[in-house]
Structure 1
Amino acid sequence: MDAVVNQAVSSTEIELIIGNSKRNFSGITSTMLQVVSYQKHMIPLRIMGKNNLTDASLAISFWQVVKMCQRPLANGKLRIFHARRVDEMIQGVVLKYLFRAKIKLVFSSAAQRKRAKFTCWLTRRMDAVIAMCKASASYLENPPSTIIYHGVNTSAYTASADKQQAWQALNLLAPSQVKGKRGIAILGRVRKQKGVHLFVQSCIAILNDYPDYTAVIVGGIAAKHEKYTQELRDSIAQAGLSDRIIFAGEQDFADIPKIFSSLSLVVALSEREGFGLTILEAMSSGVAVLASEAGAWPEVIRQGVDGYVVPVNDLAAVKDKMALLLSDETKLAQMGHSGRQRVEEYYTVEREAIELTRFLKTLV
């Protein structure tokens, strides 16, 4: 057996194999890695594929899994293969039904859309299906085995003691750009599906009434979305707000927690989401939130307590609630504080890892 498999935990003891098929770093990858950082202390595991791993000792190849899983564990129990993507379900099915691997298949489903027939077929091959929230559960062909909400690393995403000071200290904008006293932002890839135009149009409409705030769009711009982005830049320029509504571009992943903690308001206006960790990361950072009715956001955000949820693609509602939030700095700060408390109580990554591991152990 390969040396990788033998590091720290012998191959006969490994109980959990986790799919890791995507080369590019994604939200699913981030979630998996955060959960694994706690889960690896609770159950012997390996990750199939070395993409984006900082701990190479956890990596295992497909063929190593094939060889290892020809036999069950020493106690006769089956190992678990945990998939979070469709192609990982395919890998699991190939392992189990083609190579006769002695495994049980588990799929975590976050998507909120009607599934293709092939995806439904794959899902029926799973021994258990975990939904990430009630909304994602409603899109499954059959009820899920359980619902386990995502969590966030509250040690990484922390609230700053002084938002205004943290914003001023943030090295996000160019030296020639005016920061204003406070920052508000939308974070994620710049494209229409993420509702960036709703954020920009709302800022154009109301920012003149709130001169202390600067709005930033944090995220990468793919070539196919450059026209969309340029149209937004043109609208901002025509409104004379190029110094107050700023495209900050893609930022280093390690800097994202610092950016969150400096903000007074985070806006997320996607047409659809799987779960949507952005809002949890913002709340953990002590930031008030304004979100569309996508992903798990309506289940997570307490209306008027942590922020507000508005209908998808409702520009009037976004303008109204953004103005309401910016009009009262004291209330805005209290919402951030309340959001942090809510995450600490219900949405930590430690809690997710514990619930997930407990459930998986019931299967073996």
Structure 2
Amino acid sequence: MVDIRDVEVIAPNFKRRLSGVTSTIIQLVPVQHALGQKIAVLGPGLPRSLPSVRFRDLIQLWTKPKGRPCRVWHARRNVEMLPAILLRDLLRMKIRIVFTSASQRRHSGWSKFLIRRMDAVIATSGKTAAYLEVPNTVILHGIDTKRFQPPTDKAEAKTVLGLDPSMKVVGCFGRVRRQKGTDLFVDSMISLLPDRPDWCAVVAGRATGPHRGFEAELKERVAKSGLADRILFVGEHTNIPDWYRALDLFVAPQRWEGFGLTPLEAMATGVPVVATDVGAFSELVAEGEAETGLVIAADDLKAMIDATAAFMDDPSRLAAAGANGLARTWNGFAIEAEARAIGAVYESLMR
């Protein structure tokens, strides 16, 4: 716990279950704090290591922080915008409200009502901004480039995970479910691997609840193809950067995505990406002269097969795209840059 009198920014998390929003807070707040932003979290479901305040501390919001006219409340959900509006407008507490929108769909009337009452709005991508009807600042997510970085020895990185170091590896990471396009990846591999004996594939992620049947069907499909020893379902892992380091190519096959960090995580590890045109993927993956991968239409199996084959069959293109991806993430997508850009929004409201 920290003294709220020393806090200038409150980042609430009013959802107990882990979600993409919660993960963003967990990754971003330590970086913001390290950069000197006086930020604390509020709510359940967050690590105790994060600077935090209690609900009873909110009574202090009637007073200004030292040297500031107000504090900032950074909401990321409707349930976090509404109480902030009540604190500011009904109780006249000295706060201003920032909302980060990651949604790529038309907002409900209720969401529009809340968003119109924000003091500032951040969109996580250009596509997200297109759905907003208020002025906003686009700030793309960044990643921890210290956590995600290339291996010093690719063969050793594969060996540590029990993979054959002589094989090239293509991976698909994330929840195993139809929305994530895991079936498209598996079907692509069933088509591609028989003619490419030097490649194998890895699906890393967990199937939950009703999606377990979907995963079982995919495993059965793989078994019938005779590729069970080369299309591996390795489950969910906490050491996911190690799995990226073992890859030679990454495929992001989603049918829908809010933002999607996996292409950045792969690129930061020096791995080229084939990604569908959902979420922010088209804003992350560069095509053309400084190619880091290819962006294809969503739910298009033939396009996925063709794009993946283009890298599998061209080692020099594969290597060049990996090097370009590494440079692109280090130069433009470090999480510190995201934190500084958000900090500039805070500063504009606290002047």
> TM-score, length-normalised on structure 1?
0.90
Q: In structure 2, how many angstroms separate the alpha carbons of the residues matched to 1:187 and 1:76?
A: 44
Runs (5+) with no aligned partner, structure 2: none
Task: Identify the residue that residue 342 of structure 1 maps to in structure 2.
Answer: 328
1:259 paired to 2:250: no
1:134 aligns with 2:126: yes
The residue that corresponds to 2:161 in the other structure is: 170
Could you tell me how far 1:357 is from its partner in structure 2?
0.5
SS for the counterpart of 2:62 is: coil
CA contact (8 A) 2:247 2:271 kept: yes
- The secondary structure found in structure 1 opposite 2:5 is coil
1:297 is matched with 281
Which residue identity lines up with residue 93 of structure 2 in the other structure? A
State the match for 1:158 in structure 2: 149
Q: Which of 248, 256, 263 is 1:272 aligned to?
A: 256
Q: Deviation at 1:355?
A: 1.2
Shift of 1:182: 2.3
Distance 1:76 1:257, change over 3 A: closer
Q: Is 264-273 or 308-317 further displaced after alignment?
A: 264-273
CA distance in 2, matches of 1:256, 1:90: 36
What is residue 32 of structure 2 aligned with on the other side?
A: 39
Aligned 8 A contact 1:111 1:273 in 2: no
Partner SS, residue 290 of structure 1: strand
Quote the Cα distance in structure 2 between the aligned partners of 1:165 and 1:213.
Answer: 17
Deviation of 1:338 after TM superposition, in Å, equals 0.7
Q: How far off its partner does 1:25 sit?
A: 2.9
Q: Secondary structure at the match of 1:69?
A: helix
| More displaced stretch, 42-51 vs 238-247 | 42-51
The answer as to whether partners of 1:180 and 1:213 remain within 8 angstroms in 2 is no
Aligned to 1:5: 2
Secondary structure at 1:184 match in 2: strand
- Where does 1:67-216 land on structure 2 (aligned, <5 Å)? 67-75=59-67, 77-144=69-136, 146-171=137-162, 181-216=167-202
Q: Relative to structure 2, which stretch is displaced further, 95-104 or 132-141?
A: 95-104
Q: How many matched pairs?
A: 347
Do 2:15 and 2:44's aligned partners in 1 also have CA atoms closer than 8 Å? Answer: no
3-state SS, counterpart of residue 42 of structure 1? coil
Distance in 2 of aligned mates of 1:143 and 1:194:
31
Aligned-pair distance for 1:323?
0.8
Kindly provide the amino acid, as one letter, of the partner of residue 120 in structure 1. Answer: K
CA RMSD in angstroms comes to 1.8
Q: Which residue of 2 aligns with 1:18?
A: 11
Residue 223 of structure 2: SS of its match in structure 1? Answer: helix
Residue identity matched to 2:157: A
Within-5 A mapping of 1:47-62: 47-56=41-50, 58-62=51-55
Counterpart CA distance in 2 for 1:161 and 1:54 is 33
> What CA deviation, in whole Å up to 9, does each residue of 1:36-88 have, x standing for no partner?
222113221111125232415x11122322x1202222445110000122322
Q: Which runs of 4+ in 1 moved over 3 A?
A: 97-100
Aligned partner of 2:36: which letter?
A: M
Unpaired segments ≥5 residues, structure 1: none
